[in-house]
Amino acid sequence: MPTRSWIALAAGLIGLITAVTGMFLPWLRSGSVMRDSFEVVGVIQTLGFLRGDALEALIYVWFALIPVITLSIAAYALGARRVGATFALLPTIIIGTIAGGARVEADSGTGSVGITATGPTVCLIGAALALVAALGTLIGERGRTRENAGGER
Protein backbone atom coordinates (compact mmCIF):
# COMPACT_ATOMS: atom_id res chain seq x y z
CA MET A 1 0.00 0.00 0.00
CA PRO A 2 1.45 3.39 -0.98
CA THR A 3 2.41 5.90 1.70
CA ARG A 4 -0.44 8.22 0.70
CA SER A 5 -2.94 5.44 1.37
CA TRP A 6 -1.52 4.85 4.83
CA ILE A 7 -1.65 8.57 5.59
CA ALA A 8 -5.27 8.80 4.41
CA LEU A 9 -6.18 5.70 6.42
CA ALA A 10 -4.54 7.04 9.60
CA ALA A 11 -6.07 10.51 9.12
CA GLY A 12 -9.50 8.99 8.54
CA LEU A 13 -9.35 6.82 11.66
CA ILE A 14 -7.98 9.64 13.82
CA GLY A 15 -10.64 12.02 12.46
CA LEU A 16 -13.51 9.61 13.11
CA ILE A 17 -12.33 8.82 16.64
CA THR A 18 -11.83 12.53 17.36
CA ALA A 19 -15.31 13.39 16.06
CA VAL A 20 -16.92 10.70 18.23
CA THR A 21 -14.90 11.83 21.26
CA GLY A 22 -16.16 15.38 20.72
CA MET A 23 -19.74 14.14 20.81
CA PHE A 24 -19.16 13.08 24.45
CA LEU A 25 -17.43 16.31 25.49
CA PRO A 26 -19.38 19.31 26.89
CA TRP A 27 -21.67 21.06 24.40
CA LEU A 28 -23.95 22.99 26.71
CA ARG A 29 -23.39 24.82 29.97
CA SER A 30 -26.36 25.19 32.27
CA GLY A 31 -25.26 26.89 35.46
CA SER A 32 -22.42 24.73 36.75
CA VAL A 33 -23.59 21.62 34.84
CA MET A 34 -21.96 20.65 31.55
CA ARG A 35 -23.91 18.47 29.12
CA ASP A 36 -22.62 16.45 26.18
CA SER A 37 -24.38 16.35 22.81
CA PHE A 38 -26.46 13.29 23.69
CA GLU A 39 -27.74 14.91 26.86
CA VAL A 40 -28.64 18.02 24.85
CA VAL A 41 -30.53 15.87 22.34
CA GLY A 42 -32.31 14.17 25.25
CA VAL A 43 -33.38 17.55 26.63
CA ILE A 44 -34.62 18.63 23.20
CA GLN A 45 -36.63 15.40 22.93
CA THR A 46 -38.05 15.73 26.43
CA LEU A 47 -39.11 19.34 26.01
CA GLY A 48 -40.49 18.67 22.52
CA PHE A 49 -38.91 21.72 20.89
CA LEU A 50 -38.82 20.10 17.45
CA ARG A 51 -41.93 17.94 17.68
CA GLY A 52 -43.55 17.73 14.24
CA ASP A 53 -40.73 19.75 12.67
CA ALA A 54 -38.58 18.44 9.83
CA LEU A 55 -35.55 19.01 12.06
CA GLU A 56 -36.90 16.36 14.43
CA ALA A 57 -35.29 13.78 12.16
CA LEU A 58 -31.87 15.16 13.09
CA ILE A 59 -32.46 14.07 16.66
CA TYR A 60 -32.78 10.44 15.56
CA VAL A 61 -29.98 10.75 13.04
CA TRP A 62 -27.63 12.01 15.78
CA PHE A 63 -28.03 8.71 17.67
CA ALA A 64 -27.41 6.70 14.48
CA LEU A 65 -24.08 8.38 13.74
CA ILE A 66 -22.09 6.23 16.19
CA PRO A 67 -23.11 2.88 14.57
CA VAL A 68 -22.39 4.22 11.08
CA ILE A 69 -18.98 5.49 12.18
CA THR A 70 -18.33 2.09 13.79
CA LEU A 71 -19.09 0.41 10.45
CA SER A 72 -16.69 2.81 8.77
CA ILE A 73 -13.90 2.06 11.24
CA ALA A 74 -14.54 -1.69 10.88
CA ALA A 75 -14.34 -1.44 7.10
CA TYR A 76 -11.09 0.52 7.34
CA ALA A 77 -9.70 -2.10 9.76
CA LEU A 78 -10.65 -4.96 7.43
CA GLY A 79 -8.84 -3.30 4.53
CA ALA A 80 -11.93 -2.12 2.64
CA ARG A 81 -10.71 1.49 2.51
CA ARG A 82 -13.19 2.69 -0.10
CA VAL A 83 -16.14 1.20 1.79
CA GLY A 84 -14.88 2.74 5.03
CA ALA A 85 -14.46 6.10 3.32
CA THR A 86 -17.95 5.91 1.85
CA PHE A 87 -19.47 5.11 5.25
CA ALA A 88 -17.51 8.03 6.75
CA LEU A 89 -18.83 10.70 4.36
CA LEU A 90 -22.40 11.26 5.59
CA PRO A 91 -21.69 11.17 9.35
CA THR A 92 -18.77 13.56 9.03
CA ILE A 93 -20.81 16.00 6.97
CA ILE A 94 -23.65 15.90 9.53
CA ILE A 95 -21.35 16.15 12.56
CA GLY A 96 -19.28 18.90 10.95
CA THR A 97 -22.31 20.96 10.00
CA ILE A 98 -23.94 20.74 13.43
CA ALA A 99 -20.65 21.25 15.27
CA GLY A 100 -19.75 24.20 13.04
CA GLY A 101 -23.09 25.86 13.74
CA ALA A 102 -22.73 25.25 17.47
CA ARG A 103 -19.15 26.54 17.39
CA VAL A 104 -20.25 29.76 15.72
CA GLU A 105 -22.96 30.22 18.35
CA ALA A 106 -20.68 29.34 21.30
CA ASP A 107 -20.65 32.22 23.75
CA SER A 108 -17.84 33.84 25.65
CA GLY A 109 -18.97 32.47 29.01
CA THR A 110 -21.44 35.15 30.04
CA GLY A 111 -24.85 34.09 31.30
CA SER A 112 -25.91 30.92 33.06
CA VAL A 113 -26.89 28.92 29.95
CA GLY A 114 -24.87 28.72 26.77
CA ILE A 115 -23.11 26.59 24.20
CA THR A 116 -19.59 25.59 25.16
CA ALA A 117 -16.80 25.50 22.62
CA THR A 118 -15.10 22.27 23.70
CA GLY A 119 -17.33 19.54 22.21
CA PRO A 120 -18.24 21.34 19.00
CA THR A 121 -14.63 22.32 18.31
CA VAL A 122 -13.30 18.79 18.79
CA CYS A 123 -16.13 17.39 16.64
CA LEU A 124 -15.49 19.94 13.92
CA ILE A 125 -11.77 19.19 13.78
CA GLY A 126 -12.35 15.43 13.73
CA ALA A 127 -15.10 15.63 11.12
CA ALA A 128 -13.00 17.86 8.85
CA LEU A 129 -10.01 15.51 9.10
CA ALA A 130 -12.14 12.41 8.46
CA LEU A 131 -13.95 14.07 5.54
CA VAL A 132 -10.72 15.14 3.83
CA ALA A 133 -9.24 11.67 4.35
CA ALA A 134 -12.38 9.96 3.00
CA LEU A 135 -12.47 12.17 -0.07
CA GLY A 136 -8.75 11.64 -0.60
CA THR A 137 -9.22 7.88 -0.37
CA LEU A 138 -12.14 7.84 -2.78
CA ILE A 139 -10.57 10.18 -5.32
CA GLY A 140 -7.02 8.83 -4.97
CA GLU A 141 -7.96 5.18 -5.49
CA ARG A 142 -10.40 5.80 -8.32
CA GLY A 143 -7.76 5.57 -11.05
CA ARG A 144 -6.03 2.52 -9.61
CA THR A 145 -9.17 0.38 -9.73
CA ARG A 146 -9.68 1.15 -13.40
CA GLU A 147 -6.07 0.28 -14.21
CA ASN A 148 -6.33 -3.15 -12.53
CA ALA A 149 -9.86 -3.93 -13.71
CA GLY A 150 -8.70 -6.69 -16.03
CA GLY A 151 -6.55 -8.34 -13.40
CA GLU A 152 -3.29 -7.49 -15.18
CA ARG A 153 -0.42 -5.71 -13.48
Give the per-residue pLDDT at 99.
94
Q: Where are the domains of the chain?
A: 3-145
Asked whether 123 and 95 are in contact (CB, 8 A), the reply is yes
Helix (H) or strand (E) segment spanning residue 27: strand 26-30
Give the per-residue pLDDT at 152.
54
Asked whether 126 and 17 are in contact (CB, 8 A), the reply is yes
Give the per-residue pLDDT at 106.
81
Give the per-residue pLDDT at 111.
74
Architecture of domain 3-145: Up-down Bundle (1.20)
Among 41-55, 108-122, 128-142, the minimum mean pLDDT is found in 41-55
Asked whether 130 and 95 are in contact (CB, 8 A), the reply is no
Higher pLDDT, residue 87 or 149:
87
Whether pLDDT at 136 is above 70: yes
| 99-132: pLDDT as tens digits | 999 999 886 666 788 889 999 999 999 999 999 9
Higher pLDDT, residue 16 or 44:
16
Secondary structure of residue 96 in the 3-state scheme = helix
**Could you say which DSSP state residue 117 is in?**
S
